[in-house]
Amino acid sequence: MKNRRALVAGAGGFIGHHMVRHLKGKGYWVRGVDIKEPEYEPSQADEFMVLDLRKEDNCLEATRDIHEVYQLAADMGGIGYITANHADVAVNNVLINAHMLQAAFANDATRYFYSSSACIYPMYMQKSPEIGGLKEEDAYPADPEEGYGWEKLYAEKLCQYYDEEGKLPTRVARFHNIYGPLGTYDGGREKAPAAISRKVAMAEDGGEIEVWGDGLQTRSFTYVDDCVEGIYRIMQSDHSSPLNLGTDELISVNDLVDLIAKLGGKSLTKRHDTSKPQGVRGRNSDNTQLRAVLGWEPATTLEQGLTKTYKWIESQVAGRAG
């Protein structure tokens, strides 16, 4: 891909940082853009611009002289954050997504990737922990999560309109709980694997950790290396409709805690706090369409991915304590 110029919007964040590295490995010239620089290590981007992508002029600057746009920028976090900040999350992300699409079109980008979320799936389908995989066509009739889910679904439609009208070829993936090293693990925006890894790393063997909800809620989780590989494959495909990008390895939060405690070599007691947000009762990815389109799906098992993730978070916690 020599001489191909890619923009990673959200390159200061977790997935965007890994996406920059992935594209550099494929020979792209990469521009990274975010409202902040990466937290844990410098970006490998050829050029990094600190810009607020809620502003139209900044989006025009970011997309200038770019072939492929990877739109990963978003105001987001774990269930605690997105539950408490519906207005800010929705407004900030609608502005980013509308301005980025229009700017990419105005600057003649050749292709546009948008990172959607499993949060777009109807709440009425996710009321049981024993959930089958959610299929792409299940998105309608719509009943997404408040705030974050609604703005993601709306942005999917914007991409559809730009693609259908011949303005800009768009590709969309619905992420299912991405985790891995270099991700946020404290401060309120972290997701379950990182939050639990931090709690386990900080706990004494034989101690107790807090678990949000009753722990029976289920999820599937996707390792970040699989995520960026999937993003790239979807971007290069001829498939313009949204695709799930996740695993179908379903696990309860209680079992997730037990797995991470085992990786940490600790025996821990769970203290459940049912007053805290816990999201839908069950969510899982159906990868039938992903396999049909790409002939590929994420291959990293949860234990493999968590082994690397826990080791990294444990080192961060130890370094901070030291």
- For residue 72 the two structure tokens come to 């990963």
What local confidence, expressed as pLDDT, does residue 77 receive?
87
Pair 277, 147: CB distance under 8 Å:
no
What local confidence, expressed as pLDDT, does residue 3 receive?
82
CATH class of the domain defined by 182-220+249-283+300-321:
alpha beta
Instruction: With CA atoms as reference, report the closest residue to 24 among 39, 2, 40, 41.
Output: 2
pLDDT single digits (tens) 40-93: 999 999 999 999 999 999 999 999 999 999 999 999 988 889 999 999 999 999
Was domain 5-178+221-245 assigned CATH 3.40.50.720? yes
Average pLDDT, the chain: 96
Q: Where are the domains of the chain?
A: 5-178+221-245, 182-220+249-283+300-321
Residue 178 backbone dihedrals phi, psi, to 5 degrees = -85, 135
Task: Name residue, tokens 């853009």.
Answer: 33
- For residue 50 the two structure tokens come to 């600190």
Same fold across 5-178+221-245 and 182-220+249-283+300-321: no
Give me the DSSP letters along 96-161: HHHHHHHHHHHTT-SEEEEEEEGGGS-GGG---SSPPPBPGGGG-S----TTHHHHHHHHHHHHHH
Instruction: Tell me what the mean pLDDT of segment 258-266 comes to.
Output: 97
Mention every residue, 6+ apart, whose C-beta is less than 8 A from residue 91: none
Res 31 pLDDT > 70: yes
Share of the chain above pLDDT 90, in %: 93
pLDDT single digits (tens) 182-208: 999 998 889 999 999 999 999 999 999
Mention every residue, 6+ apart, whose C-beta is less than 8 A from residue 250: 131, 218, 219, 220, 282, 284
> Active-site positions?
148
- Determine the Cα angle at 174 with ends 63 and 129, to 5°: 155
**Model-wide pTM > 0.95:** yes
What local confidence, expressed as pLDDT, does residue 111 receive?
98
Res 1 pLDDT > 80: no
pLDDT single digits (tens) 203-222: 999 999 999 999 999 999 99
Burial 222-252 (b: 16+ CB within 10 A, else e): bbbbbbbbbbbbbbeeeebebbbbbbbbbbb
Distance spanning both ends of the chain, measured CA to CA: 43
What local confidence, expressed as pLDDT, does residue 293 receive?
98
